[in-house]
A and B are shown apart, each in its own frame.
Chain A
């Protein structure tokens, strides 16, 4: 099993360009998440989805959109990239039917390093 797969691994964008980060999991998990990691900030939740067809905002949703296409896939879109969106992006999934249930472990992808010039 591949677990959580993210593409691409690296991306460089110019300010104003758009792109979609793809994420797929093969563990039949219910909940999926997008985080960003910045130096000195830990991991911050952008958006999450507790089930197919539902999405909710996290701590830092501005400038992003998401789509839970089916149970396996959860994509993150930057419509007009800004330098402040330079970060490492992680997709994660968990079995929980309610996002971030108390003792549910998250399984993370290997990340996408995004630079916006």
Chain B
């Protein structure tokens, strides 16, 4: 049972436009959410996080929105840059595990 779902395996966005990556979850007990970014042949790196007591967290070009009633979070990248091309994973810690989504591959083209 996939508790964290990223239903879009890929997304293509023009440079300078907004990228929106989505993540849905099923477990209302999750109290924190994290986004990781992964380049080819590298390990994932932490990007941004949000506590369940907030509905928005912003860090530079990256903003994460949380809609608890819909059990949905999204990562906004504005403006998108070619260096943002990577796979993005959302994740939620629960008990002693960090549950990852399946990832969305973002491609930013000129």
Which of the candidate stretches B14-22, B43-51, B77-85 sits at the interface with the other chain?
Answer: B43-51
A14 interface contact, C-beta 8 A: no
A13 interface contact, C-beta 8 A: no
- Measured as residues with beta carbon below 8 angstroms from the partner, the interface class of chain A is 20 to 34
Contact B97 A111 (CB under 8 A): no
Q: A43-B89, A105-B34 are in contact. Are A100 and B98 (CB under 8 A)?
A: yes
Complex Cα distance, B32 from A110, in Å, reads 25
Within 8 A of B (CB), among A75-117: 90, 92, 98-111
Q: A45-B98, A100-B96, A103-B49 are in contact. Are A110 and B103 (CB under 8 A)?
A: no
B42 interface contact, C-beta 8 A: yes
A40 interface contact, C-beta 8 A: yes
B102 interface contact, C-beta 8 A: yes
Instruction: Collect the chain A residues with CB atoms within 8 Å of residue B89's CB.
Output: 42-43
Contact A40 B102 (CB under 8 A): yes
Residue ID in chain B nearest A59 by CB atoms: B97
What is the CB-to-nearest-CB distance from B83 to chain A, in angstroms, rounded to a whole number? 18
A41 interface contact, C-beta 8 A: yes
Within 8 A of B (CB), among A3-52: 4, 33, 40-45, 48, 50
Residue ID in chain B nearest A41 by CB atoms: B102
What is the CB-to-nearest-CB distance from B43 to chain A, in angstroms, rounded to a whole number? 3
Chain A residues packing against B (C-beta within 8 Å): 4, 33, 40-45, 48, 50, 56, 58-59, 90, 92, 98-111
